[in-house]
Amino acid sequence: MELTNLAPIVLALPLLMFMIIGLFGYKMTPKFSGILGTTAFSIVTIVCYYIALTYFFGSGRLADGSMAKEVIFNFEWLRFSENLVISIGFLLDPISAMMLIVISTVSLMVHVYSMGYMHGEEGFQRYYAVLSLFSFAMLGLVVATNIFQMYIFWELVGVSSFLLISFYYTKPSAVKAAKKAFIVTRFADMFFLMGILILSFYTQTFDFGPLTEVTNNHVAIVSETMGGVTFCGLSVISIAVFLIFLGGAGKSAMFPFHIWLPDAMEGPTPASALIHAATMVVAGVYLVARLFPIYFFEAHDVLTIIAYIGAFTSLFAAVIACTQTDIKRVLAFSTISQIAYMMVALGVSGYEGNEGLGFTASMWHLFTHAMFKATLFLAAGCVIHAVHSNEMDAMGNLRKHLKITHIAFLIACLAIAGIPIFSGFFSKDEILVAAHEASPVIYWCQTLVAGLTAFYMFRLYYRIFWYNEPDYGHHTPHESPANMWIPLMVLTVYTCTSGFFPFTEYISPDLMGFESHIHWNIAIPSVIVALIGIGIATFMYKKKTEYPDKVVACIKNTYHYAYNKFYIDEIYLFITHKIIYKCICDPIAWFDRHIIDGFMNLLSWITNKTSLEIKSFQSGNVQQYAWVFILGVLSIVALTIYL
């Protein structure tokens, strides 16, 4: 079948489902709406797989061995002027095809899983409607042919994220979290928009085609139009792409915009799995990857900054993750840390041939991370479903009660820790290789993070599945229904196998592909570090021991800082409440309330008074009329005679 005919289905069907379930959901039974959404998304998934596989193994490989950039369709949506056109299209290249697989797989699994997890919840239909909206938006984002289309869908995923976080909108904490997520990401998106405007102002195009066209180690359109232009001593290119990166940092929860992601865990767990672990949060990574040629050739400094921000964020989040007790928050910080890993990989990447390893590794890690983190979240969902709590203290010794979940969780933990044969090992190894070539600081930092990752993941694992069994009362945890553990198993299979797919041959910044092999000199130390992490976790958390308390006592201050997320939230609150509100907002509000409103009030007051006065002229009292009349006559007489 022609891709041109199939591709529109990928976007149209989820949108249609959103509208059908959203508008008519209240007339459907919850079960019907769930099955409808899932069935429709199965079709989308099949189409996505067909498109991606056709692309990778058929039409995508050009005669010279490079991967094609196909624009399947691209129609003009808005034309503002000769050059300023916003199109909606469908771009197929290695990374968007890979993203199609990631999104459709995870989203389908979440659709299926939610039927069990969300069973009996108020607003089940609404949940499915928003899930469809999110799928539509995310698919539209990855296949965007131009940066403005990307921005539109970028905001749409933000909206659906907001709607899903605030799904339990009667809970004040959920409402707060949703607002926080929305405001923080919107704040970052403002920079993204500024970046887009600067970039398109100079290059006169939104289209990714020319914007990523590399000739002679330059992105011609960018270097020709923007080269040499400076603003405040910085080149405009750097400013523009750095602003765009800030947008991506907001969505991908890079430091200092990471504060919204842990709170976003207030949403339903499957939604967290889909949006806040596997797909939406990697949009920032995807954005940088999409514009990688500009970053690499025209603003290499920015790329270095990205690498350092990524390295710092990954370490920072990993440290916090070690101290958290809410299992979803541990996973959230783990997500931040892993996404930062991908950013690091992009930041240290080269461009041609083997040097593009970082880029490839980033995308590879994106893929494997989506799979194992979705597994982890869905497994955590099963656990929460079984014990009705997010807190570690309410769990323990669950391996006896939740056998399937236990296996899935263990495999995913091994994958994220980077133990060989599981997918995370391969992608993490590639990242470390790329980091090693670029900078020893980043390399050691990332190796340390790998160890920390292993530690906190196994801490989580042991706390949930081993440890001492708390008093479950007469409510013994039991395994989830089939529609929950089947998706879990499917994702586990992906987690085990996706490391063996030869990503490097298909995904590379110059589209040429290259051979890769495991670098044992890097891999062995990282595996050893991971094993040490696992070992410490086993030692401390397999059974209830006094070691954790002792360790905490030793590093009391550090522990408290980390436990309170290094007080970043408090710093934000201080800056916003004490500085911005007090010094900027309050005077503005005062000005608005007293000067602007006051002026308007004055006008209305004058009008009111005047009309009251005028009204009293029309009293209906003849004598008063006569009096006014006489005065008028007298003044006319006086004027005509004496003037």
Partner 1 sequence: MELLTASNIIFFILAAAIILFGILTVTSKKVLRAATSLFFVLFCIAGLYLQMNYQFLAAVQLSVYAGGIVVLFVFAILLIKNLGEETEQLCGAKRALGIITALTGLVISLITIYKYGFHTDSDRCNDIAAIIDMNEIGQTLMGTEKFQYILPFEAASVLLLACIVGSIVIAQNHKEEKK
Partner 2 sequence: MSIPVEYYLIVSTLLFFIGVYGFVVRKNLISILMSIELMLNAVSINFVAFNRFVYPEHLEGYMYSLFVIVVAAAETAVAISIIINVYRKMKNIDTKSINELKN
Give how many residues touch partner 1 by CB under 8 A: 7
- The count of residues interacting with partner 2 (CB under 8 A) is 7
What type of residue sits at position 281?
Answer: V
- Please say whether the beta carbons of 130 and 163 come within 8 A: yes
Give least dist CB 611 to partner 1, A: 23
Q: Is 622 in the site for partner 2 (CB under 8 A)?
A: yes
CB of 628 to partner 1, least distance (A): 10
Nearer to partner 1, 532 or 631 (CB): 631
d(CA 474, CA 455): 33
Binding-site partner at residue 602 among partner 2, partner 1, none, CB < 5 to 8 Å by type? none
Which listed option, partner 2, partner 1, none, makes contact with residue 638 (CB within 5 to 8 Å by class)? partner 1
For residue 256, is the peptide bond before it cis, meaning its omega torsion is within 30 degrees of 0?
yes
Pick between residue 532 and residue 634 the one whose CB is nearest to partner 1.
Answer: 634
Task: Choose among partner 2, partner 1, none what residue 197 binds, the Cβ cut-off being 5 to 8 Å by kind.
Answer: none
Asked if residue 627 binds partner 2 (CB under 8 A), the reply is: yes
DSSP 8-state assignment for residue 304: H
Total Cβ atoms within 10 A of residue 408: 26
Backbone φ and ψ of 484, nearest 5°: -100, -40
| Separation CA 82–CA 267 (nearest Å) | 44
Site for partner 2 in 221-260 (CB under 8 A): none
Please identify, using beta-carbon distances, which residue of 169 and 627 lies nearer to partner 1: 627
- Residue among 554, 622, 641, 643 that touches partner 1 (CB under 8 A): 641
The span of 7-15, 112-120, 205-213, 630-638 binding partner 1 (CB under 8 A) equals 630-638
Among 305-313, 381-389, 423-431, 634-642, the segment contacting partner 1 (CB under 8 A): 634-642
Cβ-based nearer residue to partner 2, 583 or 626? 626
Contact 260, 253 (CB under 8 A): yes
**SS3 sequence of 530-578:** HHHHHHHHHHHHCCCCCHHHHHHHHCHHHHHHHHCHHHHHHHHHHHHHH
Task: Report the DSSP pairing between strands 218-219 and 230-231.
Answer: unpaired
Partner from partner 1, partner 2, none binding residue 564, C-beta < 5-8 Å depending on class: none
* Residue number, 600 or 633, with CB nearest to partner 2: 633
* Chosen residue from 575, 584, 603, 626 binding partner 2 by CB under 8 A: 626
Other Cβ atoms closer than 10 A to 619: 10
Q: Give the residue with the Cβ less far from partner 2, 557 or 623.
A: 623
Which of 197, 421, 579, 631 is the binder for partner 1 (CB under 8 A)? 631
Determine, following the binding rule CB under 8 A, whether residue 639 of this chain makes contact with partner 1: no
Of 81, 521, 557, 623, which one interacts with partner 2 (CB under 8 A)? 623
Per-residue interface string for the shown chain with partner 2, residues 551-580, x marking contact by CB under 8 A: ------------------------------
Helix, strand, coil shares of the chain as percentages rounded to 5? 75, 5, 20
Q: Does 620 bind partner 2 (CB under 8 A)?
A: yes
Q: Pick from 229, 482, 630, 637: which binds partner 2 (CB under 8 A)? A: 630
Q: Please, what is the minimum distance in Å from the beta carbon of residue 635 to partner 1? A: 9
Among 43, 565, 574, 535, which Cα is nearest to 329's? 565
Q: Do 416 and 488 form a contact (C-beta atoms < 8 A)?
A: no
Q: For residues 589-628, which are near partner 1 according to CB under 8 A? A: 627
With a CB cutoff of 8 Å and minimum separation 6, the contacts of 106 are 273, 274, 278, 279, 370, 371, 374, 491
Nearest residue to 274 via CA among 423, 426, 165:
165
Please say whether the dihedral angle defined by the alpha carbons of residues 87, 93, 97 and 102, taken in this order, is positive or negative: negative
Which entry of partner 1, partner 2, none binds 641, CB below 5 to 8 A by partner kind?
A: partner 1
Angle between helices 300-321 and 440-465 (to 10 degrees): 30
621 lines the binding site for partner 2 (CB under 8 A) = yes
Nearer to partner 1 by Cβ, of 573 and 626: the residue is 626
Output 521 or 618, the one with its CB closest to partner 2: 618
Nearer of residues 588 and 633 to partner 2, judged by Cβ: 633
Alpha-helical runs (H) found in 207-297: 208-211, 220-226, 236-251, 260-263, 269-273, 283-290, 292-293
Q: Is 637 in the site for partner 2 (CB under 8 A)?
A: no
Q: Which does 620 bind (CB under 5 to 8 A by kind): partner 2, partner 1, none?
A: partner 2
635 exposure class (CB count in 10 Å sphere: 0-12, 13-18, 19+): exposed
**Token pair of 504, please?**
């490097």
Q: Which does 622 bind (CB under 5 to 8 A by kind): partner 2, partner 1, none?
A: partner 2
Task: Give residues in contact with partner 2 (CB under 8 A).
Answer: 620-623, 626-627, 630
Task: Give residues in contact with partner 1 (CB under 8 A).
Answer: 627, 630-631, 634, 637-638, 641
